[in-house]
Amino acid sequence: MPAYVYDGLSKQGQNVHGEVIANDSRSAMEKLREAGVTVTTIQEKEVKGSKAGGRGKKVKLADLSVFCRQFAAMTSAGVPVTRAMTTLSKQTVNKSLAQAVKQTADDVEGGSTLADAFSKYPKIFNPLFIAMIRSGELGGILEQSLISLSAQLQKEKKLKDNIKSAISYPRNIGIFAIILLIGMLVGLVPVFEGMMAGAEITGVTKVIFGLSHSIRERWYFWILGIVILIVVIRAIVKSKPAHIFWENHKLTLPKFGDFMTKMVVARFCRTLATLLAGGVTAVQALESAGATAGSDLIDKAVKDAIVDIEDGKSISDSLDKSGLFPPMLIGMIAIGEESGTLPDLLDKVAEFFEEDVEVASANLKSIIEPIALVGIGGLVGGMLICLYIPMFSAATNMEGY
């Protein structure tokens, strides 16, 4: 629970200043009123080091997974929750996570539930994490919830690594091509220009020579222009209209859209399976799974489905209405609902789509690699041809004389 700093007057009329822990400011004022304090000002205390503690800073999935496994081991050994968290905060390498865990332990000692204390750090502990902790607390199965969380985070890390692998290859090829182009313009083109002094220069070669001169003589303008371009592109990418456009179209992009769909469905299934197996209700599990799937369209479809589920419809029929979920997933959910084995079947579907993401990642690389090689070869070859043509023309003219 949050702490509130207050100023007020005691029963004796003296000025008092202090802190009180409560669910909200109204509860804090009620506590103080019962203690005989007339509140003049009250505000939530800003957590010391909150920025470093992770409210605005993310933590690696691997670090979270290790924390969950260690936390589970300590609680299963009978160590009290707050003592276990204090110990883990001292030995956790990641400073952001360590600070967040230490503050969470203090909040729990102050009367907060573990889930509420973790929820104060949304950048570190996502809705899946909070839901699993809350379910473990309520059901008395915190150790099992932590072990499940650790396994889920490891699988999430593997999925993200596959996605990064697929994206990083074309990005690295693009960076290499740009560096190669700049290197040729700065180092190679001047050599050819000196060799062709007095020769007739064609239009394209003039452009290459002019570009080379511009980069070598006005490099500061180029650097400034690149910095401005990067800032503008990042601002556009982070803007709300760009986000909406991307979310509405990323699942339908040629080739890449299929990869994105598999990735989103795999994450949705894995999260939903973990939450249902942990004892979370279907509606709460769907809310968390939709929010963490990685697609606004999927999140909206799940929220619409929840309305139908609350009206008594089945999960499979409610999700099928959107048309966004693969028929295989809908069919498996329907079977799971009928047989009472929904978490197990969702886990199998998640594994299937995760393997598909891994295969799709390898396929994207195999498609991009020859295209990239042809592109770089065309860039280098085209520039060399443009540089050699004037030399061949000059040599031909000399033979004519």
The domain boundary, picked from 12, 29, 44, lies at: 44
Q: Please give the structure tokens belonging to residue 88.
A: 């883990």
Q: Are residues 308 and 329 in the same domain?
A: yes
pLDDT tens per residue, range 161-218: 877 777 777 778 888 888 888 888 888 888 877 777 666 677 777 888 888 888 888 8
Let me know whether 73 and 172 are in one domain: no
Q: Are residues 176 and 246 in the same domain?
A: yes
Please indicate, yes or no, whether residues 27 and 115 belong to a single structural domain of this protein. Answer: no
pLDDT of residue 227: 94
d(CA 345, CA 123): 30
pLDDT digits (tens, 9 = 90+) for 228-265: 999 999 999 888 888 888 888 888 887 778 888 888 88
Rounded to the nearest 10°, the torsion over CA 148, 149, 154, 156 is 110
Domain count, the chain: 3
What is the 3-state secondary structure of the chain? Answer: CCEEEEEEECCCCCEEEEEEECCCHHHHHHHHHHCCCEEEEEEECCCCCCHHHHHCCCCCHHHHHHHHHHHHHHHHCCCCHHHHHHHHHHHCCCHHHHHHHHHHHHHHHCCCCHHHHHCCCCCCCCHHHHHHHHHHHHHCCHHHHHHHHHHHHHHHHHHHHHHHHHHHHHHHHHHHHHHHHHHHHHHHHHHHHHHCCCCCCCHHHHHHHHHHHHHHHCHHHHHHHHHHHHHHHHHHHHCHHHHHHHHHHHHHCCCHHHHHHHHHHHHHHHHHHHHHHCCCCHHHHHHHHHHCCCCHHHHHHHHHHHHHHHCCCCHHHHHHCCCCCCHHHHHHHHHHHHHCCHHHHHHHHHHHHHHHHHHHHHHHHHHHHHHHHHHHHHHHHHHHHHHHHHHHHHHHHHHHC
Q: Determine the Cα–Cα distance for residues 203 and 218; give it in Å rounded to an integer.
A: 22
pLDDT digits (tens, 9 = 90+) for 114-155: 888 888 888 888 877 887 888 788 777 788 888 888 887 887
Tell me the Ramachandran region of residue 294: left when phi exceeds 0, alpha when psi lies from -120 to 50, beta otherwise.
left
What confidence tens digit (pLDDT) does each residue in 262-317 have?
888 888 888 888 888 877 888 888 888 888 788 889 989 999 999 999 888 999 99
Are 91 and 192 in a shared domain?
Answer: no
Q: Is residue 146 one of the residues assigned to a domain?
A: no
Q: Is 141 a domain residue?
A: no
Question: Rounded distance, CA 295 to CA 153, Å?
Answer: 19
Domain that holds residue 13: 3-44
131: in domain: no
Residues 232 and 310 in one domain: yes
Same-domain check for residues 87 and 223: no
Q: Is residue 137 situated within a structural domain?
A: no
- The pLDDT confidence band at residue 401, using thresholds 50, 70 and 90, is very low
Q: Does residue 199 share a domain with residue 91? A: no
- How many C-beta atoms lie closer than 10 Å to residue 330's C-beta? 16
C-alpha–C-alpha distance, residues 259 and 253, integer Å = 9
